[in-house]
A and B are shown apart, each in its own frame.
Chain A
Amino acid sequence: MLLKYVLRRLSIGLVQLLGLTISVFFLIRLLPADPVSRLVGMNASKEAYAQAQAQLGLDRPVLTQLSIYLGFQPDVSPGLLQGSLGVSWVTGSQVTAEIASYLPVTLELVTLSFLFAFAVAVPVGMLSALRPGGRADKGVFLYSLFAGSQPEFWWGLLFVYVFFFKLGIAPAPLGRLSPMTTPPPPMTGFILIDTLLAGQPKKFFEAAHHLMLPVLNLTFVLSGPIIKMVRQNMLRALQSDFVLYANSIGLPRKVVARYALRAAMAPSMTLIGILYGFMLSGAVLVETVFSLGGIGQYAVRSVLAFDYPAIQGVVLIITAISLVVYLLLDLIHAAIDPRIAY
């Protein structure tokens, strides 16, 4: 049952990805842009232009380009079917390899921030729901208003100013490690894991130290909506008939609180999924502030350079990750709430 459901969802996901690939393929080509002259310059000769165009494959009919991209003509160049996202027009290296080096930075940052935000938001949201209008509740209201009303990069700059410049407890916002440190050999791309795998605990702590501020920054911004949502769901659960009934048959406080929390968590999962998918590319501003070369920065660079294969690769990968995250959260939701049927 479960396996069948997962397989069905994955196959639907594949169809969605294919549809997305094709539509993005055409949408990019609708841009009033000329990637060839962008590469060769406005003053290039006709021959140079034609040569560059042929090199990029843009001289072929659009449908042929699509079929090459999808991988139906491996003799010309490998495509999706062969597991290749093509070659970046700007750097000339494989898009897959580039994404593999940029994506883990973002995943590490966003996942850690979500874990922390969740760990903070659930107890705070519960506390504020237990006494609506109480001191904790008012504090939460102020905080969500405050944290949510300022752009995240502004908070980032502020944090850098306070923690690095004034207090000096954070390192300079210059990347994942200090510029003087040699990074560990990339194995997973996640620096916290790579340093451990390389057996360099010192570098692990250095990386964690560097991650501290960006994670704090994102956690600070993300906690607002999550607290609000947990509070809302918890309030609804506490006022529900079954919690009232649980009280009226004399269940101990602890058991009643467990009933309510479980009911509040299930609907919260959905929002977390949406936020996560959004943050994969939405963390770009924070990444920029802390000079972390994440997928968001890669995406921006590709768009500015009209690097079609790179743009497509980024869209495809982020969508695929979002689909997997949604699936996982749906499974968690179903595990919490038996009313969800596969």
Chain B
Amino acid sequence: MSLTTEGPAATDEAGDRQPQGGEEQPARAACSARPRPSAMGAVPVRLGRPTSDGMTRRFASSDPSPGLDLARRPVLARLMRDRRFQFLLVLPNQIVFWTVIFVGLLGTAVPGLNFGTAITWYVWFCLVFVMMVVVGRAWCSMCPFGGFAEWVQRRALFRRTQKALGLGLKFPEPLARLGFLIPVGSFVLLTWIEEFFNIAGPGNPADTSFMVIGIVLSALVFFLVFERRTFCRYVCPLTTLIGTVGSMGSVAGFRTRDREICLACTTKDCMRGSENGYGCPWYTWPGSADSNLYCGLCTECFKSCPEGNIGLFLQKPLTSVVAPARRRADVAWGVALLWGLVLYQQFNATNVFNTIDTKLNSVLGFPHYPDPVDYLGLIVAGALTLAGAAFVVGRLFGTGAVPARAGKASFIDRTTPFRSFFVPMAYGLIPVVGADYFARQLPKFFHTSPRVLPAAAHIFGFASTRTALYSTSLLGNNGIVVTQVIVIAVGTLAALWSMWRVAGRDLVPVSRSAAGVRLASLAFVAACGAGAAILYVLMHAAN
């Protein structure tokens, strides 16, 4: 080993000799252009250029104003950046609904005094509805059913984990192509079960528990079988209602701040996930969202974007109804079926319906209300009435031209002369449908919501049916009817405005007569609103 002898001696000498005078100048010059390991180890990526042709125009109508970016507020940004944010939203609801389950099963059999029944049917649905109309999918961000299943799926309450529990399958494509149709189906089914067992009626509180357990379990199964929030997007009974009615809301959801940055981004952490956040559980890309339809407000994209290019935007009410450039047929049929369902729920409080239902049951040998045939029949009839009206308007005014575009084979995006009227008109009707659902909940709310307090107290052994609040009604029947009609009137006005805008953009270009189609579509909205209002008067505040 020669280290101690020639090695160091040689190096020292060289060390002294080497950097001298003018000779060193070029060396120094080269030093400033040092090779960087990054340059040597990088993978040569020659990605194509993403197209931004027509992008500005495509999103002009739906992009929120930069000034309405809530995430610019440091306090809110810090909150939303915190991984515990959504956990803390879900937690209170989680507590409430596990209480519902246990109190429903173990508590008093008097529905009005049972916290499970009281909170679920007297208050919760109304609150969810108000959140929808104001915010959009606010409920989804705090939903205890999906929230719980998501904790299990992620193996964490709020941490970013890498390995998901469960199979992580993709939802079968033929079913995914149906969009909102499956969730509408599950909503119709759930409503039928609720009516059949008289769960909300209010019937046996244990039934409420079973229903909640059923939802939790089915959510859990879907979260463990499929990836992300497949359940919430493709199955959840409430998703169509929250999605469509929520599009009246004033929160646009998480959107890109600068779309060019999103397009140039080659990693799409908001979709695939990064150290700080999961990829969008809802399959939404902030870079192309043009409505709040599928934004679950879970803040994951906001957390994961390495560019800080995502904001939480406000928008004017009804923007997501009128603005989206892309109209989806599944949304339209979803709205139509929801309309059918709410009409059924109004109609079933009338004497005429009772007679029909009883008669049908005796013919078909079905035990009791509601007979599935008239149930489904009325819902479909309601939906087809809408579709028929749109068909007539199309025949009267349409030019028959069909815009050519991609997605020809897809149920959601296929274009036909009928659809070019039906789909936009269904969007325009959303405020009426929303108002109708809300109005339908009002009698229960006004008559029985005060019972929540004695019911809550009853868990701890206080209060009884004799407690004053138990039989307090916030409003008399006449007052309720008036309120309902007002709600419908407000909804109809909103729908008239929406339809005016929708017709101007989507119907006029495919119509022979601009004025005619506008008038016809507005008349259609007014007729729907009037029909609902009349039914409320007939129902006279029945539950």
Do A and B come together as binding partners?
Answer: no
A-side residues, CB < 8 A to B, are none
